[in-house]
Structure 1
C-alpha cells in the first residue's frame, strides 16, 4: 500500500498515571475532550464536527463527553467505562484521518437520523456521527468488544458497501 498513510493511534491514558486518583484522571480525560471538541473543532471530510453540550451532566460536563466515556442504557445512571476513557484521544484522531483504508466508513439510519459510522478493526473502535444541517454531531464512540456487536456492524457495513457499489 504505497502512498497510503498508516494509522498510528494516540497513546492510551491510564488512571494509574494519576496515582489511581479517579478525580484527577476524570478531570484530565475531560480536559482532553474539551481541547478536542470544545476549544477546537475537528472536521470530517471537510465538514465540522460538534459535540452536544446540553443538557449538561452534573451541571458541568458536555452530554457527548458522557456518551464517549460512560456506559449504560439509562442516561442519568451511566457509569464510567475505563476502556472508553483510556481512548479519549481516539474520536478526534479517527474523525480527522478519514478517509483512510484502515477505517471502514458507512451510513445507517436510526429513527429519523442518518448516522456515519467509522470503524477501525484493529483497535476495535467505533465512532458514530449524526448528520445535522451543515455539520455533524459526535454521537458516541466506543470499543466493540462483543462478538455479536462486531458481527452486526460488519454485516451492516458489507450490505452498505454492496448497495453502494452496485
Structure 2
C-alpha cells in the first residue's frame, strides 16, 4: 500500500531519545491538528474528550498515543505515537460515501452501548485505524492505533465487508 499521502512518522529518535521532548512534540502536533485547526465532520462539530486530563493533556490525546484499560496506568505505544499526525489526515479524507477497498480511507460503523455509534476509519490494508464516536450533535475522535498482526487485519477486513454487505 502506498502511503505517500500520509504525513511522515514522528520518531522518538528524532527527539534524541528524550521522552519529555518527544511527548511535547507529539502534543504540539495534536494541538495543531485538533485545537488550532478543528477538523470538519459531515455537518457535525468535532470535539475532544478532555477529561480525565493527565499532565495537562486531554484524554483524547492520551488515547491516541498510549494503550491500556486503566486511564491512570496507560503506557506509551510508539506505533501510535509515530502516527499521531495521521489521525487528522484520515479524518479529513472521511466521506459518508461507501468506499471501495482501493480507497485511501475506508470505514464502517459499530454499535457501542445503547445509543452510540462509532465510526472505524481504516487504511485500505487495515494496518491503522482511527475510531470516532458519534454523539449526535458532535463527534469525538476517540482513539487511533496500529494493527500489527495479519490475522487482526483480516478480522477487521471481515468486519468491513460484513458492514457493507447488509
TM-score (norm 2): 0.87
**What's the CA shift for 1:94?**
0.2
In 2, Cα distance between equivalents of 1:51 and 1:7: 28
Q: Provide the aligned C-alpha RMSD in A.
A: 1.8
Determine if contact 2:126/2:153 at 8 Å carries over to the other structure.
no
Change in CA separation of 1:115 and 1:55 when aligned onto 2, cut-off 3 Å: same
In 1, Cα distance between equivalents of 2:125 and 2:158: 17
Aligned position for 1:38? 35
The runs of 5 or more residues in structure 2 that have no matched partner are: none
Determine if contact 1:105/1:119 at 8 Å carries over to the other structure.
yes
Q: Secondary structure at 2:142's aligned position in 1?
A: strand
**CA deviation string 1:73-97 (max 9, x = no partner):** 2221110111111111011000001
Determine if contact 1:15/1:25 at 8 Å carries over to the other structure.
yes
Alignment of 1:1-166 (within 5 A): 8-58=5-55, 60-99=56-95, 101-112=103-114, 113-122=116-125, 124-163=127-166
In 1, Cα distance between equivalents of 2:52 and 2:108: 28
Change in CA separation of 1:123 and 1:28 when aligned onto 2, cut-off 3 Å: farther
**What's the CA shift for 1:122?**
3.9
Determine if contact 1:130/1:136 at 8 Å carries over to the other structure.
yes
Q: Secondary structure at 1:29's aligned position in 2?
A: helix
The runs of 5 or more residues in structure 1 that have no matched partner are: 1-5
Determine if contact 2:126/2:156 at 8 Å carries over to the other structure.
no
In 2, Cα distance between equivalents of 1:73 and 1:147: 23
Determine if contact 2:108/2:160 at 8 Å carries over to the other structure.
yes
In 2, Cα distance between equivalents of 1:120 and 1:7: 12
**What's the CA shift for 1:123?**
6.9
Equivalenced residues, count: 157
**CA deviation string 1:63-112 (max 9, x = no partner):** 01111100112221110111111111011000001237221111110213
In 2, Cα distance between equivalents of 1:45 and 1:82: 31
In 1, Cα distance between equivalents of 2:41 and 2:4: 16
